[in-house]
Amino acid sequence: MEKYDLCVIGAGPSGYAAAMRAVDFGKKVVLIEKDKIGGAGLYNGALTSKTMWELSQKFRTVNSSIVSSGRSKFDINWDQVQKTMQEAMFDRKFQYSCHIKLLQSTELNQIFKYERGFASFIDKNNIKITKANGDEKRIFAENIIIAIGSTPRHLPNIKVDENIILTSNGVDSMEDFPKSMVIVGAGVIGCEYATMFSNFGKTKIYLIDRADKILPFEDEDISNLIGENLTKNGVTIHQNANLDRLEEKDGEVEYELSYKDGKKEVIRVEKALLSVGRVINIKGLQMENAGVKLSKRGDHIGDTDTQTNVPNIYTVGDASGHIALVNIGELEARHAVERIFDNKKEKLNYTNISTIMFLQPEVASVGMNEKQCIERNIPVKIVKLDYSCIARAIAMRKTEGFFKIIVTNDDKMKILGMRAVGEHASSAIQAVALLIKMNKGIHELAELVHPHPSIIEGVQECVRMLLNKSIFKSSIFKDKLWCYSCVDGVKTPLQRL
């Protein structure tokens, strides 16, 4: 029987990161994958959807420029979109394949091994690998990391065929732009797909939102801006709507909505896309043989700082149920390996996690938002700068958006969170993320020399406003700049002349 220091089950972003970190320690590691290297981070998920978003943004920008000069719109077909996504996927897949092949060479003393097959627990140290042809083998591992990932959640009484009624798994294999499509779920993924398809302008999009606004977890100014832009782009948002029925009829989709006022609505579209969360790939893993328990909610594997209730078994990525993002999964994976082989004592900190929402415009975030601070009754100072005051945004003719930074309401002004909405938003939050991690205030950032012209100069102007030494004064540009304190839900302007 083959013996390993570490067995990693699942070769998505989290599992792959765990295996590579174990290689760093010179440990003998086996990586087991039942399907494809890269998981949802590569296929039917992060990479392909973001490739589609990038293309849709360029398409929208080019056509806006062309139309404004009186020329006809540029056209694109689904085959071209799919070709671009496939090329991006191939590039990343090729990197993974070459990397794995070379890692298993004799020059590296064969400390790494990749196994294709379905893994299941025999006990807390022994794993059975079932190959596609039915062959089986057993391995022994001192430690095991579960990185099984997740798949799109289905809804009761709605039959998903990934052709007419789809999840995100079926988008990449569509044969053409649908003429019309309803998206069930107005969270991040639902809004991202609504953005992409509406950008191409070939699909009439309907978005079902149970709440009174999309992205209900975010501040109202962000939700309103994204919602208004979707509406301008032709998206119909069904707000405060209950989905009573959604079914295939005559090769199309018919759905029925009801509202609080008693109104009902029946609409027919060509396709439906369910975007209602994800569930972990636990089927067949037989964790009970090892004694591994699920969380109290039962929707993920229970853990304490990546360690399950069985001391030598860890869980990372979507399976751990924390934040289902590639960067978080990779962070958890490396952390788990360092706990196993380097006796790491410092616990994972999720407070400075940076995220991106691929919308119109792009939204990037780190730390707390204004809504969370008010809900927790945390006294804060808040500064907000419109993109129209940033030279680089003016140069790009991309002045829609804003920066918002939230700090403690004291002299130290430690940063609690930031939201960036607009062009290059994801590139603008890293300095703030670092200061949050270091538990620092804004003073260092105010004196840092930023490149000019750049979007991140807006970050510097924000912190200068808080320090009362900004170039533009919020008391003068009241529609562009905001600087205020918020205590007990009451907002008070900070800058006065």
| Domain locations in the chain as residue ranges | 2-43+84-151+279-342, 165-276, 361-490
pLDDT at 31: 97
Q: Which helix (H) or strand (E) holds 91?
A: helix 78-103
pLDDT at 444: 79
Cross-sheet strand order for the sheet of 363-367:
354-357, 363-367, 415-421, 402-408, 380-386, 481-487, 490-493
Q: Measured on CA atoms in the order 182, 188, 192, 195, is the torsion positive or negative?
A: positive
Instruction: For residues 217 and 357, give the distance between their C-alpha atoms in angstroms, rounded to a whole number.
Output: 13
Identify the residue whose tokens are 């304490």: 304
Instruction: For residues 267 and 260, give the distance between their C-alpha atoms in angstroms, rounded to a whole number.
Output: 18
Q: How far is CA 263 from the centre of its chain?
A: 35
Q: Which helix (H) or strand (E) holds 357?
A: strand 354-357
User: Is residue 319 within 8 Å of 303, Cβ to Cβ?
Assistant: no
Q: Looking at domain 165-276, what is its CATH homologous superfamily?
A: FAD/NAD(P)-binding domain (3.50.50.60)
361-490 shares the fold of 2-43+84-151+279-342: no
Instruction: For residues 376 and 370, give the distance between their C-alpha atoms in angstroms, rounded to a whole number.
Output: 10
pLDDT at 496: 55
User: Is residue 240 within 8 Å of 261, Cβ to Cβ?
Assistant: no
User: Is residue 475 within 8 Å of 495, Cβ to Cβ?
Assistant: yes
What residues have CB less than 8 Å from 372, skipping those under 6 apart? 417
Percent helix, strand and coil across the chain, each to the nearest 5 = 35, 30, 40
- Alpha carbon separation from 399 to 187, 298, 450, 460, 482 (Å, rounded): 25, 45, 19, 17, 17
Query: In the chain, how many H helices and how many E strands?
Result: 13, 24
DSSP annotation of 493 reads: E
Q: Take residue 209 and report the two structure tokens written for it.
A: 């939102």
- What beta strand segments (E) does 396-441 contain? 402-408, 415-421
pLDDT tens sequence for the chain (497 residues): 899 999 999 999 999 999 999 999 999 999 999 988 898 888 887 899 999 999 999 999 998 888 766 777 889 999 999 999 999 999 999 999 899 888 887 666 778 999 999 999 999 999 999 998 999 999 999 999 999 999 999 999 999 999 999 999 999 889 999 999 999 999 999 999 999 999 999 999 999 999 999 999 999 999 999 999 999 999 999 999 999 999 999 999 999 999 999 999 999 999 999 999 999 999 999 999 999 999 888 889 999 999 999 999 999 999 998 888 999 999 999 999 999 999 999 999 887 889 999 999 999 999 999 999 999 999 999 999 999 999 999 999 999 999 999 999 999 999 999 999 999 999 899 889 988 888 888 887 888 888 899 999 999 999 999 998 888 888 888 889 999 999 988 888 886 55
pLDDT at 473: 82
Instruction: Return the half-sphere exposure (C-beta side, CA atoms, 13 A cut-off) of residue 425.
Output: 30
Q: Which residues of 340-363 are buried (b: 16+ CB within 10 A; e: fewer)?
A: bbeeeeeebeeebbbebbbbbbbb
Amino acid present at 68: S
Task: Name the 3-class secondary structure at 116.
Answer: strand
Q: What are phi and psi of 60, to 5 degrees?
A: -65, -45
Instruction: For residues 41 and 324, give the distance between their C-alpha atoms in angstroms, rounded to a whole number.
Output: 11
Q: Where are the alpha helices (DSSP H) in 122-178?
A: 168-171
What residues have CB less than 8 Å from 425, skipping those under 6 apart? 356, 361, 362, 363, 364, 401, 455
Instruction: Among 2.60.40.1180, 3.65.10.10, 3.50.50.60, 3.40.1190.20, name the CATH number for the domain at 2-43+84-151+279-342.
Output: 3.50.50.60
Q: Looking at domain 361-490, what is its CATH homologous superfamily?
A: FAD/NAD-linked reductase, C-terminal dimerisation domain (3.30.390.30)
Instruction: For residues 36 and 93, give the distance between their C-alpha atoms in angstroms, rounded to a whole number.
Output: 9
